[in-house]
Amino acid sequence: MTQTYTTQMDAARKGIITPQMREVLANEVISEQLLLERVAQGRIAIPANKHHHNLKAAGVGQGLKTKINVNLGVSKDVCSFEGEMNKARLSLKYKADAIMDLSVSGDTEGFRKRLVAEVPVMIGTVPIYDTITRTGKPTEQITVEDWFETVRIHAENGIDFITIHAGLNQKCASSLRLNKRLCGIVSRGGAILYEWMAKTGQENPFYEYFDRLLDICEQHDVCISLGDGLRPGAIKDSTDAPQIEELITLGELTKRAWAHNVQVMIEGPGHVPLHEVEMNMKLQKKLCHHAPFYVLGPLVTDIAPGYDHITSAIGGALAAMHGADFLCYVTPAEHLRLPSADDVKEGIIASKIAAHAGDLAKGIPGAADLDHAMSAARGSLNWEGQFNLALDPEKARAYRASSEPADKGVCTMCGDFCSMKRLKGLL
């Protein structure tokens, strides 16, 4: 008899291997039993909306490769949906694991539907943004029904995971007022909800009516990415009382979601100095019961506009090493403008380097295989082999082609002094 299930978590708890789980098993070194156990426990999430029919599912969580996400979407000032589709195609070319649509202008639903129809990786959104765009209302005039109607629309559109800032409740808001920050609230979703709460005097609707949110997510198998509305946006604000207060609340909401068979990821900071990255990872895992951790960076310094893909990659590698499961890329345009296609590529490559470095440190099975193959190609001066193994083969080829050596077997850095050439056959 065919067993039925509502969500990937529900299936795992019933011992059912879903088609999405089989796709995860095909791309990871993990047993069926361990995958079932960790999905059932909430330590692995497989975001897979029932309406995203062309999805090639991926797992996020304990024992799996660190995944990376690409943010894209239009703004009022730069509103080209075709340009954003080109960024989506670029993301697939460079093997991003997820795409988040953060569009805040124009036909957002039409664009979401196009993404779901054309993009086979998991797709996320932030319904809080879209509520303002969809309704056209001033923030204080938005109703509880408006907030939840947007969530329902996104779920029916086929979105695999939604960021919901449900932990920024009135208690956390009070903590923020008592503990002044250098940069206040930098989360757009967090700022919108804080403004709504301040102007209406009401509790965060996603906190107050969390079970209503769970009902929608369970019906469509949408993973909730519990947003960190109070993430630090400055090194000085890192790991402060409001951030930790919200994290404690997110841990409580995680248990409630799991009781409804709804999968959860936890979003994390933000701007964090190097010496606090490990502590932040361990705090999240402890307070949120080892739910998958989705890290926005973290950026380890505030002084590098134009190079924040690098500050993010440094923090991301350390975060992944200490348990982060999912890295949100940061582009060189962060804090400055809507990223261009070139910015997107730079952000993807930097984030993939960070994720892979973290996997090497975590000892993810098979993670070092490509490194060993690259080393073997370098040791034998196999240039074509090196290009084929590179994260960005086109850039590697272009660099070599731009400076051709007289001896085609070496490069113009060392030439006849090449150690590999001199010791060939001697070791």
H or E element that contains 371? helix 369-379
Structure tokens at 91: 């993301």
Q: Is 71 annotated as a binding residue?
A: yes
Distance CA 132, CA 114 (A): 21
Q: Is 134 annotated as a binding residue?
A: no
* Number of other CB atoms surrounding residue 250 within 10 Å: 26
Q: Is 418 annotated as a binding residue?
A: yes
Q: Is 229 annotated as a binding residue?
A: yes
Q: Is 207 annotated as a binding residue?
A: no
Instruction: Indicate the SS3 state at residue 243.
Output: helix
H or E element that contains 288? none
Q: Is 271 annotated as a binding residue?
A: yes
Q: What φ, ψ does residue 279 adopt, rounded to 5°?
A: -60, -40
Burial 339-361 (b: 16+ CB within 10 A, else e): beeebbbbbbbbbbbbbbbbbee
Sequence-ordered strand ranges (E) for 73-125: 98-101, 122-125
User: Looking up tokens 């909430």, which residue turns up?
Assistant: 42
Query: Is the N-terminal amide bond of 298 cis, ω within 30° of 0?
Result: yes
Q: Is 5 annotated as a binding residue?
A: no
Q: Is 188 annotated as a binding residue?
A: yes
Please state the length of the chain. 427
280 in Cβ contact with 239 (< 8 Å): yes
Q: Is 183 annotated as a binding residue?
A: no
H or E element that contains 164? strand 161-164
8-state DSSP, 413? T
Distance CA 355, CA 279 (A): 18
H or E element that contains 264? strand 264-268
Q: Is 149 annotated as a binding residue?
A: no
Distance CA 16, CA 46 (A): 14
Q: Is 43 annotated as a binding residue?
A: no
Q: Is 91 annotated as a binding residue?
A: no
Q: Is 193 annotated as a binding residue?
A: no
Q: Is 335 annotated as a binding residue?
A: yes
Binding residues for [4Fe-4S] cluster: 411, 414, 418
Binding residues for substrate: 71, 100, 129, 165, 187-189, 228-231, 267, 294
Binding residues: 71, 100, 129, 165, 187-189, 228-231, 267, 271, 294, 335, 411, 414, 418
Binding residues for Zn(2+): 271, 335
